[in-house]
């Protein structure tokens, strides 16, 4: 992961193969091939008519080429020079993840795209500088591991585990300002930008927070790596992941039953002389992801892989582009088009099939399985009408994407007491409809993307031990999260759908 070059000197060129020497190639869109940085040229991938690459694609990509395009949702930094100083500092700090790990995740997501694995992407809506403890990280991992066990055991399908963690600090907002009392303040944009407190100084964007976010991501990732590989995630620990407040609930007891069966199966395998010392039983692969929103931050952590020469955004294994920033000709898509990481794209009910295909063409010119995960977040009432045209258009375009359901962001409403919330029934109903739409369209329902926490919070309504009063423990810095019990409930429901 050496050879960091922020001058742009060593940048790659997205070029149409053969274009300089062979102008005729441009005349036949059926033979055009686009090269992605550091990747071998694609062979025989036909370019789609109607979405054929144009000369636009013959342009230089560098980690900073996004700066030539309009960038949505960027904070109003009070002092450009201080911002650039912070970014310069970030660009000298070690990468958080390695290119080889990102490639490994791409391979696992290729299994998802091909219908042989299921993706569980989960974590906070927005990580917090205030709630930063080993216990909080551990408890979040516990719930994700429990959900993965329920899904794997219940469905027999391998589960690719990706946290919304170790970097999920920046939030897009529907309005740049927020009215609190009778005053307007800049909106809260996540702890890597400003603070939630309603004062002018707390809400001012502060570039030092980018460095704090980097360091919190590094420590979080350090602990996650230790947990994932150092014994905590060992399948023999399956009982210990069940926290007390979960174990006493209906879904906690249901989980205990599975945990006991797994324990029995491990003893049985051992008694039969099967080698149970294999790493697959004692370690997990756990990946990180966040929305690539603050492009200066992402640029500063983008490094050139010394093995392949390709650029990777080393702030996380996987990055996604949000519903508000996925326009094909703007800065976010430009930036993501040049990094080798696996990418996600959120799709709301207003997504237009041609636009979605155009972004797929930009981000995945070589039609690489695992490169793109499309995350549908329609709202339970809109899935049936909004999703099928997208699945069909993407299938016709030939991009081998994974389809994943985010049942959270289309189902948010404000409770009578003024809390932003979601009802577990709507969340489950969106997942069910997503499964049935995927199946009737011949697509594999490849995963779920949820906002959750290991804490015993009261942020989403519903569940077997119904949450009625949101005010008891409402601690999220942004959107409402499922608590551990509701998350396990959801995993059981999804396992049933996978079995069906
Ligand atoms: C999010 O995932 O927190 C988010 C803001 O999502 P979307 O872009 O789908 O609204
Ligand atoms: Co959210």
If you take atom 2 of ligand 1, which residue's CA is the nearest one? Answer: 125
* 228 alpha carbon – ligand 1 mean position (Å): 27
**Closest Cα to atom 8, ligand 1: which residue?**
322
Residue 140: is its pLDDT beyond 80? yes
- pLDDT value of position 59: 67
Nearest CA to ligand 1 atom 10: 323
Do the beta carbons of residue 65 and residue 338 sit within 8 Å? yes
pLDDT at 179 over 60: yes
Q: Please tell me the distance between residue 388's alpha carbon and the centre of ligand 2 in angstroms.
A: 24
- Which of 323, 386, 412, 422 has the most ligand 1 atoms within 8 A of CB, as the residue to mutate? 323
Q: Indicate whether 387 belongs to any domain.
A: yes
The total domain count for the chain is 1
Terminal alpha carbon distance of the chain: 44
Cα-atom radius of gyration of the chain, to the nearest Å?
A: 22
- Residues in CB range of 210: below 8 A, 6 or more apart: 86, 87, 90, 192, 294, 296, 297
Judged by DSSP in three states, 206 sits in coil
Instruction: Tell me if 331 is assigned to some domain.
Output: yes
Distance from C-alpha of 142 to C-alpha of 128, rounded to nearest angstrom: 19
Which pLDDT tens digit goes with each residue over 391-428? 999 999 999 999 999 999 999 999 999 999 999 999 99
Does residue 268 lie in a domain region?
A: no
Least confident of 56-65, 171-180, 183-192: 56-65
Note whether residue 7 is domain-resident.
Answer: no
Instruction: List, for residues 34-58, the tens digit of each pLDDT value.
Output: 334 434 333 333 333 333 444 455 5
Averaged pLDDT, 77-101? 98
Q: Which of 152-156, 340-344, 438-442 has the lowest mean pLDDT?
A: 152-156
Nearest bound ligand to the CA of residue 478: 2
What ligand has the least distance to the C-alpha of 482?
2
Residues above pLDDT 90, as percent of the chain: 85
pLDDT in tens, 251-263: 999 999 999 999 9
Atom of ligand 1 nearest to the CA of 406: 9
d(CA 464, CA 487): 11
Instruction: Look at 12 and 417; give whichever has higher pLDDT.
Output: 417
Is there a domain that residue 436 lies in?
yes
322 Cα: distance to centroid of ligand 1 (angstroms): 6
> CA 105, CA 318: separation in Å to the nearest integer?
8
pLDDT number for residue 468: 82
Please spell the DSSP secondary structure of 377-437, one letter per residue.
Answer: ---TTTHHHHHHHHHHHHHHHT--PEEEE--STTS-EE-TTS-EE-BHHHHHHHHHHHHHH
Say which CATH number the domain at 134 has.
Answer: 3.20.20.70
The arithmetic mean of pLDDT across residues 176-183, rounded, is 94
Report which of residues 58 and 15 the model is more confident about.
Answer: 58
At residue 462, the pLDDT reads 94
Instruction: Assess whether pLDDT exceeds 80 at residue 300.
Output: yes
Q: Is the pTM of this model over 0.75?
A: yes
Query: Quick check: is 376 in a domain?
Result: yes
For the CA of 407, the nearest ligand: 1
Structural domain boundaries, residue 315: 28-50+57-233+283-499
116, containing H or E segment = none
Atom of ligand 1 nearest to the CA of 324: 8
Distance 323 CA to ligand 1 centre (A): 6
Ligand 1 neighbours, Cβ below 6 Å, are 125, 172, 291, 322-324, 346, 377, 409, 479
Task: Residue 219: name the closest of 282, 115, 127 by CA.
Answer: 127
Give the DSSP H or E segment for 14: strand 12-14
pLDDT of residue 22: 32
CA distance 50 to 53: 9
Nearest-atom number in ligand 1 for the CA of 479 is 3
**Pocket-testing residue among 162, 172, 359, 407, ligand 1, by greatest number of atoms within 8 A of Cβ:** 172
Q: Measuring CA to CA, which residue among 398, 426, 452 is closest to residue 143?
A: 452
Give the atom of ligand 1 at the shortest distance from the alpha carbon of 125: 3
Contact indicator for 356, 347 with CB cutoff of 8 Å: yes
Average pLDDT of the residues of the chain: 89
- Find the 31 Cα to ligand 2 centroid distance in Å: 41
Q: How confident is the model at residue 142 (pLDDT cuts 50, 70, 90)?
A: very high
Q: What is the pLDDT of residue 495?
A: 97
- Poorest-pLDDT segment among 176-190, 302-316, 444-458, 460-474: 460-474
User: Can you list the positions of beta strands (E) in 229-323?
Assistant: 286-291, 302-304, 311-313, 318-321
Mean pLDDT to the nearest integer, 4-9: 35
Instruction: Give pLDDT tens digits for 324-361.
Output: 999 999 999 999 999 999 999 999 999 999 999 999 99
Q: Give residue 1's pLDDT.
A: 36
Residue 265 lies in a domain: no
Mean pLDDT of 292-297: 98
CA nearest to 362, candidates 60, 106, 57:
57
pLDDT at 20: 30
In a domain, 484, yes or no: yes
* Residue with CA nearest ligand 1 atom 4: 322
- Closest-lying ligand 1 atom to the alpha carbon of residue 172: 5
């Amino acid at each position: 992961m050496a050879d960091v070059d922020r001058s742009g000197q060593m940048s790659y060129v997205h070029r149409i193969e053969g274009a300089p020497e062979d102008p005729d190639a441009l005349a036949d869109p059926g033979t055009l091939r686009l090269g992605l940085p550091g990747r071998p040229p694609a062979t025989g991938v036909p370019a789609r008519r109607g979405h054929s690459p144009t000369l636009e694609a013959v342009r230089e990509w560098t980690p900073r080429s996004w700066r030539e395009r309009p960038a949505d949702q960027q904070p109003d930094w009070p002092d450009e020079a201080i911002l650039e100083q912070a970014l310069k500092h970030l660009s000298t700090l070690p990468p958080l993840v390695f290119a080889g790990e990102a490639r490994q995740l791409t391979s696992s997501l290729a299994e998802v795209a091909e219908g042989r694995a299921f993706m569980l992407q989960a974590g906070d809506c927005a990580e917090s500088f205030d709630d930063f403890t080993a216990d909080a990280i551990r408890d979040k991992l516990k719930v994700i591991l429990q959900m993965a066990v329920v899904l794997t055991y219940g469905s027999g399908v391998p589960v690719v585990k990706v946290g919304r963690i170790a970097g999920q600090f920046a939030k897009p907002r529907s309005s740049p300002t927020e009215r609190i009392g009778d005053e307007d303040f800049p909106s809260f944009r996540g702890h890597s930008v400003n603070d939630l407190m309603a004062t002018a100084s707390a809400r001012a964007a502060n570039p030092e927070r980018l460095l704090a976010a980097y360091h919190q991501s590094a420590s979080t990732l350090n602990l996650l790596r230790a947990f994932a590989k150092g014994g905590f995630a060992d399948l023999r620990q399956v009982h210990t992941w069940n926290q007390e407040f979960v174990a006493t609930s209906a879904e906690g007891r249901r989980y205990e039953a599975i945990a006991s069966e797994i324990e029995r199966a491990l003893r049985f395998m051992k008694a039969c002389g099967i080698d149970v010392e294999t790493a697959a039983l004692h370690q997990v692969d756990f990946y990180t992801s966040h929305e690539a929103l603050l492009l200066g931050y992402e640029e500063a952590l983008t490094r050139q892989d010394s093995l392949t020469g390709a650029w990777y955004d080393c702030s996380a294994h996987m990055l996604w582009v949000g519903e508000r920033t996925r326009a094909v000709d703007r800065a976010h898509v430009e930036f993501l088009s040049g990094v080798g990481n696996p990418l996600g794209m959120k799709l709301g009910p207003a997504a237009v099939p041609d636009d979605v295909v155009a972004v797929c063409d930009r981000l995945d010119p070589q039609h690489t399985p695992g490169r793109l995960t499309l995350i549908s977040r329609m709202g339970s009432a809109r899935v049936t009408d909004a999703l099928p045209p997208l699945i069909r258009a993407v299938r016709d375009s030939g991009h081998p994407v994974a389809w994943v359901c985010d049942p959270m962001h289309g189902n948010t409403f404000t409770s009578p007491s003024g809390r932003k919330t979601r009802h577990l029934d709507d969340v489950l109903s969106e997942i069910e409809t997503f499964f049935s739409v995927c199946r009737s369209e011949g697509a594999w329902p490849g995963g779920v993307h949820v906002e959750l926490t290991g804490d015993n919070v009261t942020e989403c309504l519903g569940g077997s031990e119904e949450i009625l009063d949101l005010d008891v423990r409402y601690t999220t810095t942004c959107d409402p999260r499922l608590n551990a019990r509701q998350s396990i409930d959801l995993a059981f429901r999804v396992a049933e759908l996978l079995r069906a």
